[in-house]
Amino acid sequence: MNKKQMRDILDVIGEMFPDAHCELNHSNAFELTIAVLLSAQCTDETVNRVTADLFRKYKRPEDYIAVPLEELQQDIRRIGLYRNKATHIQKLCHMLIDKYDGEVPRTHEQLTELPGVGRKTANVVVSNAFGVPAIAVDTHVERVSKRLGVAKADDSVLEVEKKLMKLVPEEEWTETHHRLIFFGRYHCKAQQPACTVCTLLDRCKEGKRRMKPVAVRKPKEMKKTIPSKG
């Protein structure tokens, strides 16, 4: 993959999803951090249903640690891994209060020190909340990047991110992240990708494999047997 080929891909996906954006509902950096933490192994749609009530009840880090852990667990029980996530949220809020005066830190390095916040979450927060260019590699970005040949099938998430950062102009990192997510979520789906109408089919090994007609095998001719003489 070279930059010209990447440019072609970016232009096609840009035309398909010009208004791609973060679909997690939030009104500030703190809410976004909580929402992204909850989104691990969970759909944005489910997270938004849960945070609709959650963000009305909890406004500040102090609110999350003012209730028993069991109460917070019940508030997010529709989220996968809700017990672990509730624990992470309370620990994260304690650190925000103790170390950052209750504010979400603005650097990637500081964010990844927070409980439950990994590289992907930090990239989402710095890019969407603070306007710092970043490419967060979630399951959609990883799948699409590998199908289109941007990355190899056995590349790690970090390797996928580095290859995208090298091929995509820095000022387009954030919008590319969103457009790749939309492309993977609504077009190049994991189980039923829209290969038959995809203009990037010629670049997609997965698509070519799916579209290749299956050869019909002819049944082997039965060997004639000579009846034994009795």
pLDDT at 57: 98
The CATH number of the domain holding residue 92 is: 1.10.340.30
What DSSP assignment string belongs to 22-48? --S--SSHHHHHHHHHHTTTS-HHHHH
Tell how far CA 28 is from the center of its chain: 20
The pLDDT tens digits for 191-218 are 999 999 999 999 888 888 888 764 445 5
Confidence (pTM): 0.87
Confirm whether 87 is domain-assigned: yes
163's tokens: 């290859």
**Both 104 and 188 in a single domain?**
no
**Both 91 and 155 in a single domain?**
no
The pLDDT tens digits for 100-125 are 999 999 999 999 999 999 999 999 99
- How far apart are alpha carbons 136 and 157 in whole angstroms? 9
The pLDDT tens digits for 6-23 are 999 999 999 999 999 999
CA distances from 127 to 54, 70, 106, 124 (A): 23, 32, 10, 5
Q: How many domains is the chain partitioned into structurally?
A: 2
* Average predicted confidence (pLDDT) for the chain: 91
**Both 100 and 166 in a single domain?**
no
Does the pLDDT value for residue 221 go beyond 50?
A: no
Residues marked as catalytic: 120, 138
The CATH number of the domain holding residue 204 is: 1.10.1670.10
- How far apart are alpha carbons 138 and 123 in whole angstroms? 11
- Where does the pLDDT of residue 223 fall: very low under 50, low under 70, confident under 90, or very high at 90 and above? very low
The pLDDT tens digits for 31-64 are 999 999 999 889 999 999 999 999 999 999 999 9
pLDDT at 214: 47
Confirm whether 218 is domain-assigned: no
pLDDT at 218: 52
Long-range contacts of 155-163 (CB under 8 A, 24+ apart): 157/119, 157/120, 158/119, 161/119, 161/123, 161/135, 161/136, 161/137, 163/1
pLDDT at 213: 63
Q: Which domain holds residue 207?
A: 3-19+135-211
95's tokens: 């650190």
